[in-house]
Each structure stands twice: as structure tokens, then as C-alpha cells.
Amino acid sequence: MPRIAFSTFADMTLDTLRHGATLAPARRNAGANTAALDIYRLHRHVQQAAAQYEAERGPWPQVSDTCIGCHGVNGRPLNPHYPPLAAQPAAYLAAQLRAYAEGRRVHPIMNAMARALDDHEIETLAAFFARQRAGDPPVSRLDPLLLERGQQIVEAGACTTCHGESLSGRDSIPRIAGLGYDYVLKQLDAYAAGTRRDPSQAMNTLAASWTPQQRQAIAAFLASRSARDSTAPSERGEPQKSSSPQI
């Protein structure tokens, strides 16, 4: 993938728009002046955005840009159907990408995308998203009684034993706090049905022991939990293979 300086687009934008502004008729000087001011503000905004992008990721484009369409900017999706990548442990992200690449985890889009990545790109992606701050959970409109029931099941199931006290994950065990309701429920249902397999079998056994209503309650509770106070990236470990419980 070619690498070019994102800031180049800022200069190109300014030159193009400045040229257009000079073509305005003299009788529209006031409008031209307003357009010139807008152009200046746009240029400043693009420059600032370009500087921030290059400071965080390097020259544009980066492999992580491919993930924005589904997983959102910096791994924080707006659609709860897609899992957040931000603040997930790097080891977990790398393990899942390799599982997709090797066909051990199946998804109509992710399998092909993961197969196109080399080891360096996988590790780079995992490290990038692991150091991003998690977003706030979406405003929940679910029944408070459902949330309470979900909390009871999570606590009784000792989910914190594997996923950590704040449910933010560690090493190759994912954070489950603050994931979208739709995504969590789909994964729990898949584990229960055996269409997604946990190498340790822990998640398959647990999910199969819960009723559909209990899985809905768990998904609701986890989606309502904030992951903003998750474990620091340096404490999550580097990408590595593991058979720990996953979700």
C-alpha cells in the first residue's frame, strides 16, 4: 500500500479552493471574501486533522483505515452490531486476526481481510487499537430489571475471574465491558449453538447453560458497562497465542 503525506491534501485543497475564489466576479467581492475566510478555516482544520493523523499513525494511508467503515474511527463503532476494537488487549486482537486468517473463526468479510495481512501488519493493528481509549457505552433504553438480572448472572458466573475485575480483559482474554448489545448477544448465541468455538470450551459450556433470556440479560448488562477505566495498555501484554476463554 503506497504511503503519502496526508498533509499534502491540505495544501491541495487550499490551492484548489483559493483558485476558485479568485474567479469570483468583482461585484461579488463580499461573497468572495467570505469564501476566502471559509477556505482558510477549512485549510486550518484539514492541517490540524492531518497533523494529528500523522502523529498517531504515520503517513497516510495506514492499514487501520480499512477498519473504520465497520469498527469506527480509532476502533469505536457507532453501530452496536460491530465490536469495538479500542482498548482491547493486543494479544486478543492479534489472536482473532490470525484465527480469521486461518479459518478457525468464520466471517464473510473478516476472513478475506485477515488473510491479506502479514504478521507485521497484524501486530501493528493489534498494538494500535490496544492503545486507543475505549468509548462510552451507548445510552441504554433497556429494561432496568433486565440489566439487574444480567449483573446477577455475570457475578454468579465469575466472569471477572477471566475477564478481570473491570471486565476489561488481559493478555489474550478480551474486554467485554462496553461492547454493543447486538454483538455480545450474537456471540453468546454462537457459543451456545457451537458455531463459534472457544479453544478452552469455557465459553461454549457457559453460554449453553444459559437460556436465551439469560443471554439477553447478560448482553444488556455488558453493553451498559463503561470501559473508560480499563487496564492500561502496557499491562495487557503483547500479542501471543493462548487458549484462554474468549468472546
| Most confident range, picked from 9-23, 25-39, 189-203 | 189-203
Cell 476472513 appears where?
A: 111
- How does pLDDT run across 108-167, given as a tens digit for each residue? 999 999 999 999 999 999 999 999 999 887 666 778 999 999 999 999 988 999 999 999
Q: What is the pLDDT of residue 232?
A: 36
* pTM (two decimals): 0.70
Q: What is the mean pLDDT of the chain?
A: 80
Burial class (CB in 10 A: 0-12, 13-18, 19+), 123: middle
Q: What is the pLDDT of residue 109?
A: 95
CATH number assigned to the domain covering 144-235: 1.10.760.10
Is 29:94 a contact under the CB 8 Å cutoff?
no
Cis peptide before 61 (omega within 30 of 0): yes
Q: Name the residue ranges covered by the structural domains of the chain.
A: 7-61, 64-130, 144-235
Residue 34 has pLDDT above 90, yes or no: no
Within 13 A of 167's CA, how many CA atoms are on the CB side?
A: 21
Please, which residues bridge with residue 4 across strands? 60
Q: For residue 75, give the C-alpha cell.
A: 476502533
* 178: nearest Cα among 237, 241, 230, 104: 230
Confidence label for 44 from pLDDT (cuts 50, 70 and 90): low
Q: Please state, as a whole number, how many other Cβ atoms lie within 10 Å of the Cβ of residue 186.
A: 16
Residue 25 has pLDDT above 50, yes or no: yes
- How does pLDDT run across 57-107, given as a tens digit for each residue? 565 547 888 899 999 999 999 898 999 999 999 999 999 999 999 999 999
Cell 464473510 appears where?
A: 108
CATH number assigned to the domain covering 64-130: 1.10.760.10
152 vs 17, which has greater pLDDT? 152
d(CA 87, CA 93): 10
CB-based contacts of 194: which residues, under 8 Å, 6+ apart?
204, 208
d(CA 19, CA 37): 14
Type of residue at 114: A
Residue 3 has pLDDT above 60, yes or no: no
Cell 453501530 appears where?
A: 79
- How does pLDDT run across 46-56, given as a tens digit for each residue? 666 557 666 66
